[in-house]
Amino acid sequence: MDQPDRALPDDPGNRYARELERHLDWLDSFTPTALGVLAAASGIYTYLGVRTLLEEPGLWTTFAALAYSIAVSVGIFVFWSYLLRLLPAVRGATARIGLFLSMALGAVAIIAMSSWLNAAALAGGAAMETHMATTVKSYQTALERAHANAVSGQSLARDVARVRQSFQDLSEQEEGGILSGFSGRGAVFRVLTQKGTELQALEDQLLAIEAPIERTFAQGNVILSRMRSISVEAGGLPDRTVRFSEDAVALAGLITELRQLNPAPLVLRAAQDLADAVVLPELDGRTAEIQAGQSSTINSVLTLVAQRATTLSQAAAEVIALPQPDDAIYTPMSAADAVIVYAGNFVPAWAGAISIDLLPAVLVFIIMVVQAAIRSGRGEGRSDDRMTVGELRAALAAADLLRPAPPPAAPEATARPEPEVPPATPRAEG
């Protein structure tokens, strides 16, 4: 019967396998220590990350964070110790696939319970500053948009002034008798003066709004400048976050005030009233012919008023249709949440946080490759040439213990006394 392939002690493949095993023996002398250092480092950063989530200071909070970090360190050390020993040793495809799936599941669990907290400890402060900077940018956009809309609404004063001036010119012409053909300040003159007065009041309101708009915008810029300083200044995050929140609330109020100062809705309503609310004076012509002329002119004036009102309404509607500022709301968040929200800005921190937990996976793959090379060099059999002198002595001692004891020796028979031989009688010489 053919014997299985077995590497001889002096075979090159066997010597190659022995060389690799000697390297593994040397590496095994400090691998657990290195794994323990990695697990302890991950536990320290996990502790710092947990402290950012537990806002209440105190002994129990410290104890809870410490207990969690120790549990994470022990779990990482035990998990990778299992895989470092078992995964390179298994040979069957089913067992290897099962351990690979277990390693993938464990890696996901480690990331979920440790890596994101490590990232929070590494980049939590920077993530909070990024959150504040992003908030400042959104508030600045909203403030500028609200100010631009308010200025656009206030610029309708020029349209109102143009319409008012047209009615003023028409009233002067009517006073000279150009419109109705009859000079004086009659019914037509009073209608034109009435609409001119309404437009003058609206223009005064629009001009009065300009100063509050600019003052509010200046106050908003001051608060924005202060918020920018808070987001980058040195100091503890809790105090900075509180001051930033206060400024954010004040700035949100100024943005709302700017939206309310926008006079476009006021102009739209005034334009509608300009055409609808007309008080017709009594025709004061001395003759029927004069009154007929006044009535015809007033109808023409009302048509003109409706046209001017439509023009103002369209201008006001265009301002109202401008994009409105978004509702800028500052939402305070923890460092851990900020790291997740702005993960794309902190890829190196995330890579470091995950690598410190998953680096032992590389060691697992290295040992798997080396073990495969050892098996390839040695073959299916396994020689015992790696036994030390101490192991050889222990094996011989165990073999002596397992060897059956020899049977007891049979008792010897009682020896009979030999008869005494009398001494020989000397012969006489003859």
CA distance 6 to 10: 12
- R_g over Cα of the chain: 50
**Spatial contact of 42 and 357, defined as CB atoms under 8 Å apart:** yes
CA torsion 52-58-60-61 (nearest 10°) is 0
pLDDT given for residue 97 in this prediction:
92
Q: How many CB atoms lie within 10 A of CB 321?
A: 9
**Number of helices and strands in the chain (H, E):** 14, 0
**Two tokens, residue 314:** 């369209």
- What gap in Å lies between CA 186 and CA 295, rounded to an integer? 11
DSSP output for 235-260:
S-HHHHHHHHHHHHHHHHHHHHHHHH
Quick one: pLDDT at residue 298? 65
Distance of alpha carbon 64 from alpha carbon 54, whole angstroms = 9
Match 């907290």 to its residue by tokens: 117
Phi, psi of 29 (to 5 degrees): -70, -25
Judged by DSSP in three states, 382 sits in coil
Chain Cα centroid distance, residue 57: 25
Residue 278 confidence (pLDDT): 56
- For position 430, what pLDDT does the model report? 36
Q: Give burial (CB, 10 Å; 0-12/13-18/19+) of 58.
A: exposed
> Two tokens at 308?
């001017």
Give the pLDDT score at 225. 93
Neighbours of 13 (CB within 10 A): 15
pLDDT tens for the 430 residues of the chain, in order:
444 445 455 567 677 777 887 888 888 888 889 999 999 999 998 888 888 777 666 788 888 889 999 999 999 999 999 999 888 888 888 888 999 999 999 999 998 888 888 888 888 888 888 899 899 999 999 999 999 999 988 888 888 888 878 777 777 776 666 665 566 566 667 777 777 777 888 888 888 888 999 999 999 999 999 999 988 888 778 888 889 999 999 999 999 999 988 888 888 888 777 766 555 555 555 556 665 666 666 667 677 777 777 888 888 888 888 888 888 788 888 887 888 888 888 888 888 888 889 989 999 999 888 888 887 777 655 544 555 667 677 777 777 777 776 666 555 555 455 555 555 555 444 3
Q: Which residues contact 387 (CB under 8 A, 6 or more apart)?
A: 395
Closest among 301, 316, 318 to 269, alpha carbons compared? 316
